[in-house]
């Protein structure tokens, strides 16, 4: 994982006493340079381990989704050493994993313990904003895009490998082994979360041992010192000037839409493929899992690619291009032609899968129920009236759309973070990064709600047509604020603007 940061590293600023026309008293030493990049690489690893260790319990994850990430820890990060909120948030995640592993022990109220665990996962995820805040403050403008791309790459790799590890744990079986002394069951359901707890502890140890506080200005010059004293003050050289709050709000809106459209795409995959391709629920879960994993691999390639492209065209142009690619992806999904989907005529009310009780939380909750799935009719349900007159979405349309949406989303995600951190400039960014991550969390809540209702009642034409309209409005907003989405130092003439 350490190699991911190599391309982001520039030559140390030893002997370079000027930045533009300004003289500097502090020059970055070789020792400080190495320490700074060791700390950044540890945060790459933190992002990876956090993503790998995130508990993934399919049925509950879809029913109860908490998105409290970033809110509790990031304000503290502006006034305390970044180690503290990082360690606290990771410890919360470890506690959530342990609660998952023991949720079967209580004789009742298992549902509420599971909800508490899900809530703790959301709070523990606050380290994402802290990590990005640290990297934004510890890199120059020249290093920033590449470092943000590396961070997103590590996160994507974690999300890809996490389900792979969980699949491997299936070899342990449902029964597994039981450690009676501490009432711990190690089976295919608890092993993944126990792995998450172990990775979290390892992460805390590495942060304590390696991470150091570093902050440089936009040209890469280190500040004189970082002193987090009782008065919560930082003795650093802060450039004069005000943050462009309009650009900050606009970037939050842009990021909200980026997360919103991808969240709704993830949500609609299963019902869309079951309706259009007459897949069973079991097939839809399997095939769509493979599709999402492939999109994760695509995201890694895009993250690495934008590091090169941003140097040629700039971050703003890449953000605009990403939004246009996303729009093309949803436009392709609009139904056309004279072929209609297979209609599911059979009444499902008497053949539905019985609800699983939380009392069976660690065994019955995740059983495949293959026999029940095979008895269910397939196709577009007659209860959805639009099935009778809406043309089918062809598989070629679907796969082309998925590739485009995955590509555009990945580029927009990295560029949003990069532009946002540059707009904020040298000021501590913890609170601002918390707001950005919170807006993304809100999008992941509202996106599924929006698409579920519109798709169910109005069908794919309205659903994807409205999404295309939302993306076009977002492109319009980007056009309005395009010239204001520039780095703080560029705005005040301290650093020359990059091409875009």
Radius of gyration of the chain (CA): 24
Residue with tokens 């309009």: 246
Positive or negative: CA dihedral 75, 125, 161, 165: positive
Highest mean pLDDT among 292-301, 379-388, 456-465: 456-465
Please state, in angstroms and rounded to a whole number, the distance separating the CA atoms of residues 97 and 77. 24
| H, E, C per residue of the chain | CHHHHCCCCCCCCCCCCEECCEECCCCCCHHHHHHHHHHHHHHHHHHHHHHHCCCCCHHHHHHCCCCCCCCCCHHHHCCCCCHHHHHHHHHHHHHHHHHHHCCCCCCCCHHHHHHHHHHHHHHHCCHHHHHHHHHHHCCCHHHHHHHHHHHHHHHHHHHHHHHHHHHHHHHHCCCCEEEHHHCEEECCCCHHHHHHHHHHHHHHHHHHHHCCCCCECCCCCECCCCCCCCCCCCCCCCCCCCCCHHHHHHHHHHHHHHHHHHHHHHHHHHHHHHHHHCCCHHHHHHHHHHHHHHHHHHHHHHHHHHHHHHHHHCHHHHHHHHHHHHHHHHHHCCCCCCCCCCEECCCCCCCCCCCCCHHHCCCHHHCCCHHHHHHCCCCEECCCHHHHCCCCCCHHHHHHHHHHHHHHHHHHHHHHHHHHHHHHCCCCCHHHHHHHHHHHHHHHHHHHHHHHHHHHHHCHHHHHHHHHHHHHHHHHHHHHHHHHCCCHHHHCCCCCCCCC
Which residues make beta-bridge pairs with 148? none
Give the Å distances, CA to CA, from 238 to 264, 388, 408, 422.
Answer: 41, 63, 35, 14
Residue 19 has pLDDT above 60, yes or no: no
- Residue percentage of the chain with pLDDT more than 90: 25
Among all chains, which residue has been given the structure tokens 């506080």?
213
**What's the pLDDT at 242?**
82
Cβ 306 vs Cβ 419: under 8 Å: no
β-strand pairing of 343-344 with 380-381: parallel
Q: What is the predicted pLDDT for the residue at 478?
A: 96
The set of residues, in sequence order, having a beta carbon less than 8 Å from that of 104 and lying 6+ positions away, is 110, 185, 361, 362, 363
Strand partners, 23: 18
For 182-210, the pLDDT digits (tens) are 778 888 777 888 888 888 899 999 999 99
Q: How confident is the model at residue 285 (pLDDT cuts 50, 70, 90)?
A: confident
Mean pLDDT within 58-70: 39
Whether 360 shows a pLDDT value over 70: the answer reads: no
Residue 139 in this model has a pLDDT that exceeds 80 = yes
Which residue matches tokens 């400080």? 32
CA 322, CA 386: separation in Å to the nearest integer? 31
Summarize the confidence of residues 125-134 as an average pLDDT. Answer: 80
Is pTM beyond 0.75? Reply is no
Average pLDDT value for residue range 6-30? 46
More confident residue, 12 or 180: 180
Picking from 270, 223, 239, the residue whose alpha carbon sits closest to that of residue 425 is 239
Per-residue pLDDT tens digits for 148-179 = 888 888 888 887 777 777 777 777 777 778 78
Q: Please report how the helices 245-277 and 395-424 are oriented relative to each other, as an axis angle in degrees rounded to 10.
A: 160
Q: State the number of CA atoms in the 13 A half-sphere of 405 facing the CB.
A: 28
**Average of pLDDT values for 441-450?**
87
**What's the pLDDT at 374?**
47
**Model confidence at 124, in pLDDT bands (50, 70, 90)?**
low
d(CA 490, CA 426): 12
Report pLDDT for 54. Answer: 52
Longest pairwise C-alpha distance within the chain: 79
Q: What is the pLDDT of residue 21?
A: 36
- Comparing C-alpha atoms, which of 100, 82, 52, 69 is closest to residue 199? 52
- CATH superfamily of this structure's domain 29-346+355-491: MFS general substrate transporter like domains (1.20.1250.20)
Q: How far is residue 45's CA from residue 127's CA, in Å, rounded to a whole number? A: 12
């Amino acid at each position: 994982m350490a190699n991911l940061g190599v391309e982001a590293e520039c030559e140390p600023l030893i002997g370079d006493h000027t930045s533009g026309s300004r003289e500097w008293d502090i020059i970055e030493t070789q020792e400080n340079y190495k320490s700074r990049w060791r700390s950044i690489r540890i945060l790459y690893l933190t992002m990876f381990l956090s993503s790998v260790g995130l508990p993934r319990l399919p049925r509950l994850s879809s029913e109860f989704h908490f998105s409290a990430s970033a809110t509790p820890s990031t304000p503290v990060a502006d006034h305390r050493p970044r180690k503290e909120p990082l360690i606290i948030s990771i410890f919360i995640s470890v506690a959530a994993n342990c609660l998952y592993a023991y949720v079967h022990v209580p004789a009742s109220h298992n549902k509420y313990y599971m909800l508490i665990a899900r809530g703790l996962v959301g709070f523990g995820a606050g380290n994402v904003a802290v990590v990005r805040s640290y990297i934004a403050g510890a890199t120059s403008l020249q290093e920033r895009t590449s470092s943000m791309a590396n961070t997103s790459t590590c996160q994507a790799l974690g999300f890809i490998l996490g389900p792979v590890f969980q699949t491997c744990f299936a070899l342990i079986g449902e029964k597994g082994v039981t450690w009676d002394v501490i009432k711990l069951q190690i089976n295919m359901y608890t092993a993944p979360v126990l792995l998450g707890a172990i990775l979290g502890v390892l992460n805390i140890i590495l942060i304590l041992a390696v991470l150091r506080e570093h902050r440089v200005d936009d040209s890469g010059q280190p500040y004189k010192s970082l002193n987090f004293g009782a008065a919560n003050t930082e003795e650093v050289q802060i450039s004069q000037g005000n943050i462009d709050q309009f650009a900050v709000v606009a970037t939050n809106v842009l990021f909200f839409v980026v997360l919103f459209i991808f969240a709704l795409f993830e949500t609609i995959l299963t019902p869309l493929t079951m309706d259009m391709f007459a897949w069973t629920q079991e097939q839809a879960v399997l095939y769509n899992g493979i599709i999402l994993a492939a999109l994760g691999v695509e995201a890694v390639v895009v993250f690495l690619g934008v590091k090169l492209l941003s140097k040629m065209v700039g971050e703003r142009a890449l953000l605009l291009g990403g939004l246009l690619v996303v729009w093309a992806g949803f436009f392709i999904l609009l139904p056309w032609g004279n072929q209609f989907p297979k209609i599911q005529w059979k009444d499902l009310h008497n053949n539905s899968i019985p609800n699983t009780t939380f009392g069976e939380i660690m065994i019955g909750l995740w059983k495949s129920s293959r026999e029940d799935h095979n008895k269910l009719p397939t196709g577009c349900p007659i209860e959805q009236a639009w099935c009778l007159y809406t043309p089918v979405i062809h598989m070629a349309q679907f796969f082309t759309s998925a590739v485009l949406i995955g590509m555009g989303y990945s580029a927009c995600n990295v560029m949003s973070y990069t532009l946002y951190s540059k707009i904020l400039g040298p000021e501590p960014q913890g609170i601002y990064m918390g707001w950005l991550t919170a807006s993304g969390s809100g999008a992941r809540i509202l996106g599924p709600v929006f698409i579920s209702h519109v798709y169910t009642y109005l069908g794919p034409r309205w659903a994807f047509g409205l999404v295309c309209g939302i993306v076009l409005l977002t492109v319009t907003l980007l056009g309005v604020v395009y010239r204001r989405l520039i780095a703080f130092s560029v705005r005040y003439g301290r650093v020359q603007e990059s091409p875009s």
